[in-house]
Structure 1
């Protein structure tokens, strides 16, 4: 069973929120919609859920047109960021709610509902909370209850909108690992919205990167991380150092940079922009190099270094602190790129990297 989205468009007034979305989600997949605020992620999720309708395009599940069906007819499970639990109901009653309001012809008997709730309480590891009220639960416990309520109706598709956004960092990490295990055990097709790259990459089978109402790239986490398809994806995934280079016979060249480790690229000769992560730039002591160490700061495990040349170009790199023990303030260094992404042309933003002054305490290794 496949969820198929084709040419989906949605406008709110003069704002085009979705601009022709094409996506297929396979049975049992866990898909992350990843992107900044305003990229269209939640609007797409709401259209899938039947809480909003597109201006154009198609949406089908297992070949059936879902745009002609109500939210109830689609049998969607939806988990919101802020839980949306009923405060006057116990955990048990919250989980049972979706089953108890089904049409009489589809509604299970009370004994069957109770058995389903008991099974979910055990499955979600919250059996001891059955008779508590939401106000008596932690944020992580409330989110588990919300997930149980969504799963009780045995949804065809489970949708989660920033499900861990209201939780602190440690609880988010614990819950997302737990959710991956729940997904694998239940085999439910799941789509979740997030702006957290780490969350998307740890949880999802495939990541859909959205920006400005379009899909910039879809792929497995490692594929997207290692091979961003557009400058936006590169910037969004941390390739924050942008440098002008010249392509010759598939190789990138730039004064003061050692780019020999980068593979050949099928890019025409001429100007291009190299995108790098600070962790992929290795400063190497070299008395003949045009760059000098301008700033050094330590986080304990990492050493952050800013190198500057005579033209004012400043490049930030990040290395394990023990690997930078030979570096000193003012020392000339060559900059060796160990990985990066190259796009033709001079880029949509100024190629010279913009450096924000460090706020960490300056230190020597």
Structure 2
């Protein structure tokens, strides 16, 4: 069974929020919709949930047209950022709520509801909280209760909208690991919305990067991190250093840079842009180099450095403190790039540099760009 979306579009007035979304989510898969605010993530989630309808396109679960089904008929479980628990109900009553409001023909008996609630309380490790009210719980505990309420109806698809956004950093990290374990144990098909890269990469089987109402790239977390398909994805995932380079016979060249570690790219000769992460740039002392270290700042374990040349090119790098021995402000350095992504400056906007024949790229890495 799979959830299939085809050419989903949605407009609010003159604003096109979703511009032709094609996406399939397989049974038991955990997929993250990742992107900045305004990219269309939550609108797409609401359409899947039956809380909104597209202007065009199709949405089907296991071949069943969900656009012809109400939210209740789709049997969706949804968890919101701010929990949306009923304050006058205990934990066990909150979890039981979805079962008690099912149509009479589908509603379990009281004993079966009680058994389901007790099983979920134990499964979610909150049995000791059964008789408490939401006001007596921590944020992390409330989120577990919200997840239990969503899971009680045995949803076909579980939807999470920024589920950890209201929690502090440590609680978010703990709950991410816990949620991944819950997902693996329950086997529920899950889609969650986030703007947090770390959250998406740690939790998801597959990440869908969205921007401006389109899907920029779809793939496994490590594939997207190592091989961003568009300049937007590169910038969004931390490749914040942009260096003008010249392509020659598939190799990038730039004065003062050692780019020999980069794989050959199937790009035409001429101007291109190399996207780098600061952590993938290594300054090396070199009296003949055109760059000089102008800034060195410490964050404890790391040293952040800035190198500049006479033409005003400013390159930031980040090294472990133990790798900075002998580097001082004012010292001439050459810069070595360990990894990066190259995009042709003559290609259409968003076009990625394809790999040359001697490189290997999995099929799933190819971008799903609309």
The bucket for the TM-score relative to the shorter chain is over 0.9
Length-normalised TM-score, structure 1: 0.95
TM-superposed deviation, 1:244 = 0.5
Is this contact kept in 2: 1:244–1:346, CA < 8 A? no
What is the distance in 1 between the residues matched to 2:157 and 2:326?
55
Residues 210-255 of structure 1 show CA distances to partners (whole Å, capped at 9, x for unaligned) of 0000000000000000000000000000000001000000000011
Alpha-carbon distance between aligned partners in 2 of 1:341 and 1:33, rounded to the nearest angstrom:
23
SS in 1 for 2:177: helix
Partner of 2:365: none
Equivalence map 1:1-365=2 (5 Å): 1-345=1-345
SS in 2 for 1:67: helix
Task: Note the C-alpha offset of 1:325.
Answer: 1.8
Supply the distance in 1 between the matched residues of 2:269 and 2:309 (Cα, whole angstroms).
Answer: 25
Q: Deviations over 1:40-77 (max 9, x none)?
A: 00000000000000000000000010000000000000
For the residues of structure 1 that align with 2:87 and 2:243, how far apart are their CA atoms?
Answer: 54
Query: 2-side partners of 1:82 and 1:321: how far apart?
Result: 40
**Distance in 2, Cα, partners of 1:254 & 1:238:** 21
- Is the Cα–Cα contact under 8 Å of residues 76 and 156 in structure 1 kept in the other structure? yes
Say which SS state the counterpart of residue 210 (structure 2) adopts: strand
Residues 258 and 334 in structure 1, CA contact (< 8 A), matched pair in contact too: yes
- Name the SS for the 2:117 alignment partner: helix
User: Equivalent residue of 1:122, what SS?
Assistant: helix
The root-mean-square deviation of aligned C-alpha atoms, in Å, is 1.0
Q: Displacement of 1:346 after TM fit?
A: 6.5
Provide Cα deviations, 1:260-314, integer angstroms capped at 9, x if missing partner: 1001001111100000000000000001100000000010110000000011111
Q: CA deviation at 1:342?
A: 0.1
Q: Tell me how many residue pairs correspond in the alignment.
A: 349
Shift of 1:26: 0.2
**Residues in 2 aligned to 1:272 and 1:313: alpha-carbon distance in whole angstroms:** 16
Q: Which runs of 5+ in 2 are unaligned?
A: 351-370
- CA distance in 1 between counterparts of 2:302 and 2:22 reads 41
Q: Distance in 2 between matches of 1:282 and 1:96?
A: 57
Distance 1:325 1:152 in 2: 57
TM-score when scaled to structure 2?
0.94
CA drift of 1:206 comes to 0.1
- Distance in 2, matches of 1:3 and 1:194, equals 19
Q: Is the CA contact (8 Å cut-off) linking 1:33 and 1:208 kept in structure 2?
A: yes
Distance 1:165 1:266 in 2: 41
Moved over 6 A (4+): 346-349
Residues of 2 paired with 1:168 and 1:312: CA distance?
Answer: 40
SS of alignment partner, residue 272 of structure 2 = strand
Unaligned runs of 5+ in 1: 350-365
In the alignment, which residue of structure 2 is the partner of 1:356? none
Measured in 1, the distance between the counterparts of 2:56 and 2:244 equals 40
Q: Secondary structure of 1:141's partner?
A: helix
8 Å CA contact retained: 1:33, 1:210: yes
